[in-house]
Structure 1
Amino acid sequence: MLAKTSLSGSRVRLTSWMPQDLPALAHWYQQSDFLRLLDAQPAYPYSEAFLGQWLEERQKSNHAFIFAVRAVSSNEPAVTAPNDMLLGYVELDGILWNHQVSWISIAIGEEHWGHGYGFEAMQLALTFAFEELNLHRIQLTVFSYNDRAIALYEKLGFQREGVYREFIHRSGDRHDMYLYGLLRPEWKDKFG
Protein backbone atom coordinates (compact mmCIF):
# COMPACT_ATOMS: atom_id res chain seq x y z
CA MET A 1 0.00 0.00 0.00
CA LEU A 2 1.29 3.47 -0.85
CA ALA A 3 1.99 5.92 1.95
CA LYS A 4 -0.48 8.76 1.94
CA THR A 5 1.15 12.17 1.63
CA SER A 6 -1.38 14.86 2.37
CA LEU A 7 -1.01 18.60 2.11
CA SER A 8 -4.02 19.09 4.38
CA GLY A 9 -4.24 18.93 8.15
CA SER A 10 -6.95 19.65 10.68
CA ARG A 11 -6.20 23.40 10.88
CA VAL A 12 -4.14 24.29 7.79
CA ARG A 13 -3.50 23.13 4.29
CA LEU A 14 -0.66 23.80 1.89
CA THR A 15 -1.70 25.10 -1.52
CA SER A 16 -0.35 26.89 -4.54
CA TRP A 17 -0.19 30.68 -4.63
CA MET A 18 -2.97 32.73 -6.20
CA PRO A 19 -2.78 36.29 -7.52
CA GLN A 20 -5.16 37.48 -4.78
CA ASP A 21 -2.55 36.41 -2.16
CA LEU A 22 -0.10 39.15 -3.14
CA PRO A 23 -1.66 41.98 -1.08
CA ALA A 24 -1.41 39.95 2.15
CA LEU A 25 2.16 38.92 1.35
CA ALA A 26 3.11 42.51 0.53
CA HIS A 27 1.52 43.64 3.81
CA TRP A 28 3.79 41.26 5.77
CA TYR A 29 6.82 42.39 3.77
CA GLN A 30 6.12 45.97 4.89
CA GLN A 31 6.53 45.04 8.59
CA SER A 32 10.07 45.31 9.89
CA ASP A 33 9.41 42.94 12.83
CA PHE A 34 8.31 40.22 10.38
CA LEU A 35 11.33 40.83 8.14
CA ARG A 36 13.82 40.82 11.04
CA LEU A 37 12.70 37.32 12.02
CA LEU A 38 12.67 35.99 8.48
CA ASP A 39 15.88 37.11 6.83
CA ALA A 40 19.38 38.43 7.47
CA GLN A 41 18.90 41.03 4.74
CA PRO A 42 18.07 44.57 5.83
CA ALA A 43 14.41 44.89 6.89
CA TYR A 44 13.46 46.60 3.65
CA PRO A 45 9.86 46.64 2.38
CA TYR A 46 9.10 44.86 -0.88
CA SER A 47 6.38 45.74 -3.37
CA GLU A 48 3.64 43.47 -4.66
CA ALA A 49 5.27 43.50 -8.10
CA PHE A 50 8.64 42.39 -6.71
CA LEU A 51 7.05 39.64 -4.60
CA GLY A 52 4.99 38.46 -7.58
CA GLN A 53 8.18 38.05 -9.63
CA TRP A 54 9.90 36.29 -6.72
CA LEU A 55 7.03 33.80 -6.40
CA GLU A 56 6.95 33.21 -10.14
CA GLU A 57 10.69 32.42 -10.19
CA ARG A 58 10.33 30.09 -7.21
CA GLN A 59 7.48 28.22 -8.84
CA LYS A 60 9.54 27.64 -12.01
CA SER A 61 12.53 26.22 -10.09
CA ASN A 62 13.16 22.49 -9.92
CA HIS A 63 15.14 23.07 -6.70
CA ALA A 64 12.37 24.72 -4.67
CA PHE A 65 8.76 24.20 -3.60
CA ILE A 66 6.87 27.09 -2.05
CA PHE A 67 3.43 26.59 -0.55
CA ALA A 68 0.81 29.03 0.65
CA VAL A 69 -0.41 28.12 4.15
CA ARG A 70 -4.19 28.44 4.34
CA ALA A 71 -6.67 28.05 7.16
CA VAL A 72 -9.08 25.13 7.37
CA SER A 73 -12.22 25.90 9.37
CA SER A 74 -12.51 24.12 12.70
CA ASN A 75 -14.73 24.14 15.76
CA GLU A 76 -12.42 26.44 17.73
CA PRO A 77 -13.84 29.90 16.96
CA ALA A 78 -11.40 31.72 19.26
CA VAL A 79 -8.38 30.64 17.19
CA THR A 80 -9.76 29.94 13.76
CA ALA A 81 -9.05 32.10 10.77
CA PRO A 82 -11.71 32.11 8.05
CA ASN A 83 -11.56 29.12 5.73
CA ASP A 84 -8.95 29.50 2.97
CA MET A 85 -7.42 32.65 4.50
CA LEU A 86 -3.72 33.03 3.70
CA LEU A 87 -1.79 32.57 6.95
CA GLY A 88 1.76 32.48 5.60
CA TYR A 89 4.03 30.28 3.56
CA VAL A 90 6.49 27.42 3.87
CA GLU A 91 9.31 26.78 1.43
CA LEU A 92 11.68 23.96 0.64
CA ASP A 93 14.56 25.41 -1.35
CA GLY A 94 18.16 24.89 -2.36
CA ILE A 95 17.37 21.20 -2.85
CA LEU A 96 20.42 19.10 -3.66
CA TRP A 97 18.74 16.11 -5.27
CA ASN A 98 21.89 14.00 -5.47
CA HIS A 99 22.41 14.33 -1.69
CA GLN A 100 18.69 14.35 -0.74
CA VAL A 101 19.13 17.59 1.23
CA SER A 102 16.99 20.72 1.39
CA TRP A 103 16.64 23.95 3.32
CA ILE A 104 13.26 24.81 4.79
CA SER A 105 11.76 28.10 5.92
CA ILE A 106 8.40 29.22 7.21
CA ALA A 107 6.74 32.60 7.59
CA ILE A 108 3.41 33.12 9.32
CA GLY A 109 1.80 36.57 9.28
CA GLU A 110 2.14 38.29 12.66
CA GLU A 111 -1.63 38.47 13.13
CA HIS A 112 -1.76 34.64 13.02
CA TRP A 113 1.00 33.88 15.55
CA GLY A 114 0.32 31.75 18.60
CA HIS A 115 -2.42 29.52 17.18
CA GLY A 116 -0.36 26.46 16.20
CA TYR A 117 -0.60 27.08 12.47
CA GLY A 118 3.18 27.02 12.02
CA PHE A 119 3.58 23.65 13.73
CA GLU A 120 0.99 21.95 11.55
CA ALA A 121 2.25 23.64 8.37
CA MET A 122 5.79 22.46 9.11
CA GLN A 123 4.56 18.91 9.81
CA LEU A 124 2.82 18.86 6.43
CA ALA A 125 5.87 20.29 4.65
CA LEU A 126 8.20 17.79 6.33
CA THR A 127 5.90 14.91 5.37
CA PHE A 128 5.97 16.16 1.78
CA ALA A 129 9.77 16.50 1.89
CA PHE A 130 10.49 13.08 3.36
CA GLU A 131 7.68 11.03 1.81
CA GLU A 132 6.95 12.66 -1.55
CA LEU A 133 10.38 14.09 -2.44
CA ASN A 134 12.31 11.26 -0.78
CA LEU A 135 14.69 13.68 0.96
CA HIS A 136 16.96 12.52 3.78
CA ARG A 137 17.97 15.76 5.50
CA ILE A 138 16.15 19.05 6.04
CA GLN A 139 18.03 22.01 7.49
CA LEU A 140 17.40 25.59 8.48
CA THR A 141 18.94 28.57 10.19
CA VAL A 142 17.35 30.74 12.86
CA PHE A 143 18.48 33.84 14.73
CA SER A 144 19.19 33.41 18.45
CA TYR A 145 16.61 36.08 19.34
CA ASN A 146 13.76 34.23 17.61
CA ASP A 147 12.65 32.20 20.64
CA ARG A 148 9.26 31.24 19.17
CA ALA A 149 10.81 29.73 16.04
CA ILE A 150 13.49 27.90 18.05
CA ALA A 151 10.79 26.33 20.25
CA LEU A 152 8.83 25.31 17.13
CA TYR A 153 11.82 23.71 15.41
CA GLU A 154 12.87 21.79 18.52
CA LYS A 155 9.28 20.58 19.06
CA LEU A 156 9.40 19.23 15.49
CA GLY A 157 12.59 17.30 16.29
CA PHE A 158 15.22 19.52 14.69
CA GLN A 159 18.64 19.28 16.36
CA ARG A 160 20.91 22.28 16.86
CA GLU A 161 24.06 21.41 14.95
CA GLY A 162 26.06 24.60 14.98
CA VAL A 163 26.32 28.26 15.80
CA TYR A 164 27.35 31.11 13.53
CA ARG A 165 28.66 33.34 16.31
CA GLU A 166 27.70 37.03 16.21
CA PHE A 167 26.39 36.54 12.68
CA ILE A 168 23.78 39.26 12.57
CA HIS A 169 23.73 42.90 13.69
CA ARG A 170 20.31 44.21 14.67
CA SER A 171 19.35 47.26 16.73
CA GLY A 172 22.92 47.88 17.83
CA ASP A 173 23.58 44.33 19.07
CA ARG A 174 25.26 41.25 17.62
CA HIS A 175 23.31 37.98 17.61
CA ASP A 176 24.18 34.38 16.83
CA MET A 177 22.52 32.36 14.09
CA TYR A 178 21.89 28.67 14.73
CA LEU A 179 22.00 25.80 12.25
CA TYR A 180 19.40 23.09 12.81
CA GLY A 181 18.99 19.78 10.99
CA LEU A 182 16.46 16.96 10.90
CA LEU A 183 17.10 13.54 9.37
CA ARG A 184 14.37 11.31 7.97
CA PRO A 185 14.92 8.52 10.59
CA GLU A 186 14.64 11.10 13.42
CA TRP A 187 11.42 12.45 11.94
CA LYS A 188 10.00 8.94 11.48
CA ASP A 189 10.84 8.05 15.10
CA LYS A 190 9.01 11.15 16.32
CA PHE A 191 6.03 11.35 13.93
CA GLY A 192 6.06 8.24 11.73
Structure 2
Amino acid sequence: MSHRSTSPASEGTVELRPHTAASLEPLLRWKNDAEIQRLSDGGTQAYSRERIAATLERWMRPSEDIVHLAICLAGRDEPIGFLHLALIERAHRRCRLGIVIGEKDLWGRGYGHQAVVRAVGHAFDVLGLERITAEVLADNPRSARMLEGAGFVREGVMRESVHRDGRRVDELVYGLLRHEWRGRGV
Protein backbone atom coordinates (compact mmCIF):
# COMPACT_ATOMS: atom_id res chain seq x y z
CA MET A 1 0.00 0.00 0.00
CA SER A 2 1.50 3.30 -1.03
CA HIS A 3 -0.44 6.45 -0.25
CA ARG A 4 0.77 9.92 -1.02
CA SER A 5 -0.22 13.22 0.47
CA THR A 6 1.19 16.69 0.46
CA SER A 7 0.66 19.44 2.99
CA PRO A 8 1.49 23.14 2.78
CA ALA A 9 3.49 22.80 6.00
CA SER A 10 5.75 20.13 4.61
CA GLU A 11 8.64 20.07 2.18
CA GLY A 12 7.87 16.75 0.50
CA THR A 13 5.50 13.93 -0.02
CA VAL A 14 4.94 11.16 2.49
CA GLU A 15 4.28 7.57 1.46
CA LEU A 16 2.99 4.80 3.70
CA ARG A 17 4.46 1.42 2.82
CA PRO A 18 4.74 -2.03 4.29
CA HIS A 19 7.89 -2.43 6.36
CA THR A 20 10.97 -3.98 4.78
CA ALA A 21 14.43 -4.84 6.08
CA ALA A 22 15.27 -1.14 5.60
CA SER A 23 13.18 -0.42 8.73
CA LEU A 24 15.47 -2.36 11.09
CA GLU A 25 18.22 0.20 11.75
CA PRO A 26 15.89 3.21 12.11
CA LEU A 27 13.55 1.25 14.42
CA LEU A 28 16.49 0.20 16.57
CA ARG A 29 17.59 3.84 16.85
CA TRP A 30 14.12 5.20 17.59
CA LYS A 31 13.10 2.51 20.07
CA ASN A 32 16.27 3.28 22.05
CA ASP A 33 15.98 7.07 21.90
CA ALA A 34 15.05 8.39 25.35
CA GLU A 35 13.22 11.46 24.06
CA ILE A 36 11.13 9.48 21.57
CA GLN A 37 10.31 6.89 24.24
CA ARG A 38 9.37 9.60 26.69
CA LEU A 39 6.98 11.29 24.23
CA SER A 40 5.43 8.17 22.75
CA ASP A 41 4.95 5.63 25.52
CA GLY A 42 6.66 7.00 28.58
CA GLY A 43 8.99 4.00 28.71
CA THR A 44 12.71 3.92 29.35
CA GLN A 45 13.66 0.34 28.54
CA ALA A 46 16.49 -0.66 26.22
CA TYR A 47 15.69 -2.69 23.11
CA SER A 48 18.15 -5.19 21.67
CA ARG A 49 18.72 -5.70 17.95
CA GLU A 50 17.22 -9.19 18.30
CA ARG A 51 14.06 -7.86 19.92
CA ILE A 52 13.60 -5.16 17.27
CA ALA A 53 14.26 -7.71 14.48
CA ALA A 54 11.58 -9.98 15.95
CA THR A 55 9.18 -7.04 16.25
CA LEU A 56 9.84 -6.02 12.65
CA GLU A 57 9.31 -9.58 11.45
CA ARG A 58 5.94 -9.61 13.23
CA TRP A 59 5.02 -6.20 11.76
CA MET A 60 5.77 -7.49 8.25
CA ARG A 61 3.28 -10.39 8.56
CA PRO A 62 -0.30 -9.78 7.36
CA SER A 63 -2.84 -9.53 10.16
CA GLU A 64 -6.60 -9.04 10.37
CA ASP A 65 -6.46 -6.83 13.45
CA ILE A 66 -3.46 -4.56 12.87
CA VAL A 67 -1.81 -2.73 9.98
CA HIS A 68 1.83 -1.67 10.48
CA LEU A 69 3.31 0.80 7.98
CA ALA A 70 6.58 2.61 7.44
CA ILE A 71 6.40 6.36 6.85
CA CYS A 72 8.80 7.27 4.04
CA LEU A 73 9.58 10.35 2.02
CA ALA A 74 8.81 9.86 -1.66
CA GLY A 75 11.67 8.24 -3.52
CA ARG A 76 13.49 7.08 -0.39
CA ASP A 77 13.67 3.56 1.02
CA GLU A 78 14.58 4.30 4.63
CA PRO A 79 11.59 5.27 6.79
CA ILE A 80 11.33 8.50 8.77
CA GLY A 81 8.76 6.99 11.12
CA PHE A 82 6.10 4.36 11.51
CA LEU A 83 2.43 4.06 12.30
CA HIS A 84 -0.18 1.45 12.95
CA LEU A 85 -3.90 0.97 12.82
CA ALA A 86 -4.28 -1.41 15.74
CA LEU A 87 -7.02 -3.22 17.59
CA ILE A 88 -9.08 -3.30 14.41
CA GLU A 89 -12.52 -4.50 15.44
CA ARG A 90 -14.52 -5.22 12.31
CA ALA A 91 -17.76 -5.90 14.23
CA HIS A 92 -17.62 -2.40 15.73
CA ARG A 93 -15.81 -0.89 12.72
CA ARG A 94 -13.18 0.86 14.80
CA CYS A 95 -9.43 0.92 15.42
CA ARG A 96 -6.68 2.76 17.26
CA LEU A 97 -4.02 4.87 15.57
CA GLY A 98 -0.43 5.14 16.76
CA ILE A 99 2.33 7.14 15.07
CA VAL A 100 5.98 8.03 15.61
CA ILE A 101 8.09 10.32 13.46
CA GLY A 102 11.47 8.98 14.48
CA GLU A 103 13.76 11.40 12.65
CA LYS A 104 13.77 14.29 15.11
CA ASP A 105 15.24 16.75 12.60
CA LEU A 106 12.00 16.29 10.62
CA TRP A 107 9.67 17.08 13.53
CA GLY A 108 7.34 20.03 12.97
CA ARG A 109 7.41 19.83 9.16
CA GLY A 110 3.96 18.32 8.60
CA TYR A 111 5.07 14.76 7.87
CA GLY A 112 3.11 13.33 10.80
CA HIS A 113 0.02 15.18 9.62
CA GLN A 114 0.41 13.78 6.12
CA ALA A 115 0.87 10.25 7.43
CA VAL A 116 -2.18 10.50 9.68
CA VAL A 117 -4.32 11.83 6.81
CA ARG A 118 -3.25 8.87 4.63
CA ALA A 119 -3.83 6.36 7.43
CA VAL A 120 -7.27 7.77 8.22
CA GLY A 121 -8.22 7.61 4.55
CA HIS A 122 -7.12 3.97 4.45
CA ALA A 123 -9.05 3.12 7.63
CA PHE A 124 -12.27 4.69 6.38
CA ASP A 125 -12.11 4.03 2.62
CA VAL A 126 -10.32 0.68 2.40
CA LEU A 127 -11.02 -0.99 5.74
CA GLY A 128 -14.55 0.42 5.98
CA LEU A 129 -14.16 1.58 9.57
CA GLU A 130 -16.35 4.22 11.22
CA ARG A 131 -14.22 5.34 14.19
CA ILE A 132 -10.53 5.85 14.96
CA THR A 133 -9.12 6.63 18.39
CA ALA A 134 -5.67 7.80 19.42
CA GLU A 135 -4.03 8.58 22.73
CA VAL A 136 -1.21 11.01 23.45
CA LEU A 137 0.62 11.79 26.65
CA ALA A 138 -0.68 15.02 28.14
CA ASP A 139 2.80 16.57 28.10
CA ASN A 140 3.21 16.00 24.33
CA PRO A 141 1.38 19.04 22.90
CA ARG A 142 2.98 18.63 19.44
CA SER A 143 1.23 15.28 18.95
CA ALA A 144 -2.05 16.64 20.29
CA ARG A 145 -1.92 19.53 17.80
CA MET A 146 -1.08 17.13 14.97
CA LEU A 147 -4.15 14.98 15.73
CA GLU A 148 -6.38 18.04 16.06
CA GLY A 149 -5.07 19.39 12.75
CA ALA A 150 -6.05 16.11 11.10
CA GLY A 151 -9.60 16.43 12.43
CA PHE A 152 -9.46 14.40 15.65
CA VAL A 153 -11.54 15.66 18.57
CA ARG A 154 -10.37 15.48 22.15
CA GLU A 155 -12.82 13.20 23.92
CA GLY A 156 -11.36 12.89 27.38
CA VAL A 157 -8.48 12.23 29.70
CA MET A 158 -7.25 8.95 31.12
CA ARG A 159 -5.99 10.32 34.41
CA GLU A 160 -2.59 9.11 35.61
CA SER A 161 -2.60 6.43 32.93
CA VAL A 162 1.18 6.08 32.42
CA HIS A 163 3.97 5.71 34.98
CA ARG A 164 7.05 7.69 33.98
CA ASP A 165 9.98 9.23 35.81
CA GLY A 166 8.53 8.22 39.18
CA ARG A 167 5.20 9.91 38.59
CA ARG A 168 1.85 9.27 36.93
CA VAL A 169 1.09 11.05 33.62
CA ASP A 170 -2.32 11.64 32.03
CA GLU A 171 -3.15 10.51 28.49
CA LEU A 172 -5.45 12.54 26.25
CA VAL A 173 -7.98 10.51 24.27
CA TYR A 174 -8.85 11.62 20.74
CA GLY A 175 -11.43 10.28 18.32
CA LEU A 176 -12.44 10.76 14.71
CA LEU A 177 -15.66 9.55 13.10
CA ARG A 178 -16.08 8.82 9.42
CA HIS A 179 -18.89 11.39 8.99
CA GLU A 180 -16.71 14.10 10.62
CA TRP A 181 -13.90 13.23 8.22
CA ARG A 182 -16.21 13.43 5.21
CA GLY A 183 -17.64 16.69 6.57
CA ARG A 184 -14.19 18.22 6.25
CA GLY A 185 -14.35 17.78 2.49
CA VAL A 186 -11.69 15.07 2.47
TM-score scaled by length of structure 2: 0.88
- What is the Cα deviation at residue 173 of structure 1? 4.0
> Matches of 1:111 and 1:25 in 2, distance apart?
16
Q: Which residue of 1 aligns with 2:124?
A: 130
Q: Which residue of 2 aligns with 1:76?
A: none
- The one-letter code of the counterpart of 1:93 is A
- Aligned partner (choices 1, 16, 19) of residue 18 of structure 2: 16
Q: Which residue of 2 aligns with 1:98?
A: 91
Give the conservation status (yes or no) of the 8 Å contact 1:9–1:124: yes
Give SS of 2:65's match.
Answer: coil
Deviation digits for residues 23-80 of structure 1 (CA, Å, limit 9, x no counterpart) = 111011111110111114x32121232122123223332100011000026xxxxxxx
Give the conservation status (yes or no) of the 8 Å contact 1:6–1:128: no
The aligned runs of 1:146-165 (5 Å cut-off) are 146-165=140-159
Q: Which is further off, 149-158 or 171-180?
A: 171-180
Q: Which is further off, 149-158 or 164-173?
A: 164-173
> Matches of 2:33 and 2:125 in 1, distance apart?
35
> Matches of 2:2 and 2:47 in 1, distance apart?
32
- The one-letter code of the counterpart of 1:126 is V
> Matches of 1:88 and 1:191 in 2, distance apart?
27
- What is the Cα deviation at residue 172 of structure 1? 4.2
- The one-letter code of the counterpart of 1:35 is Q
- Aligned partner (choices 26, 33, 41) of residue 39 of structure 1: 41
Give SS of 2:98's match.
Answer: strand
- The one-letter code of the counterpart of 2:140 is N
Unaligned runs of 5+ in 2: 7-12
Q: Is 2:137 the partner of 1:143?
A: yes
Q: Which residue of 2 aligns with 1:77?
A: none
- What is the Cα deviation at residue 6 of structure 1? 6.1
Give SS of 2:109's match.
Answer: coil
- Aligned partner (choices 168, 171, 178) of residue 174 of structure 1: 168
Alignment coverage as a number of residue pairs:
178
Overall identity of the aligned pairs, in %: 34
Q: Which residue of 1 aligns with 2:71?
A: 69
